[in-house]
Amino acid sequence: MAHLPRLKESLGADFIVVNGENAAGGRGITPKITIDLLRAGVSVITTGDHIWDQKEIISRPRPNGDPFIDSEPRLLRPVNYPAGAPGHGAIVLETAKGKVGVINVQMRTFMQPILENPFPAVEAAVAEMRLQTSVILVDAHGETTSEKIAVGRFLDGRVSAVIGTHTHVQTADEQIFPGGTAFICDAGMCGPANSILGRSIEPIVNRFISNLPALFPVAKGDVRLCGAVVTIDETTGRALSIARVNELISESPATPPGA
């Protein structure tokens, strides 16, 4: 969070999307963290299967009486939750360069809870959003590379970028599909570099060896900041380039890992 202004300037970023589902001690996100990220310059916060881990997201009402996630549309939950679920799965924001849309969708393979089929859900959300803008980013939150690639190919030419999240490990498959959609299977984690997916190494190794339950505390030490920068033609919505961001920051992290 503290490095966001520097990154915005150095990368020339106009619009920043952060997956914040692990921002609260590695599980979920709180209203305070949401507000802090937005104040730091984040445009939209996406999430995934850990969105409900911190109950304040639902239980803490805003002054108007609505649950926090209902009254803060810039905090998204997956769009393929059944009708009536709290919160929003998509948003369109006005910017200095035109309207930008963001859709959060969760895959189903090896994921809990199993949500509605992501393909028709995201297709419907994209169709509705394209009535307002052709500049659309999709966060495809999922476990398997095949399912995320399939969603990217499915949406090629209809959205500007499909960025995968959830597995915490940045992939090296950044590309632009034939229809003009930028894609990467996983943008990577912002969290402790000397870790296993952001957690302390020894307890996880011991768990694999013993099969016994164990606590997995967030690791300490240097932080690796990962992500992707996509350049988009704001007139056509086609991606012009995509590049990985992978930076080692030598300090003790003030915040837990994000997906």
Q: Which residues are designated catalytic?
A: 50
Name the DSSP letter for residue 150.
Answer: H
d(CA 47, CA 105): 9
Q: Is the dihedral of CA 150, 76, 24, 13 positive or negative?
A: positive
- Sort 67 into a burial class: Cβ within 10 Å, 0-12 / 13-18 / 19+: middle
Both tokens of 237, joined, read 């919505």
Is the link from the previous residue into 253 a cis peptide, with omega within 30 of 0?
no
Instruction: Say if residues 115 and 148 touch (Cβ distance below 8 Å).
Output: no
d(CA 86, CA 99): 24
d(CA 143, CA 138): 16
CA 75 to chain centroid, in Å, comes to 10
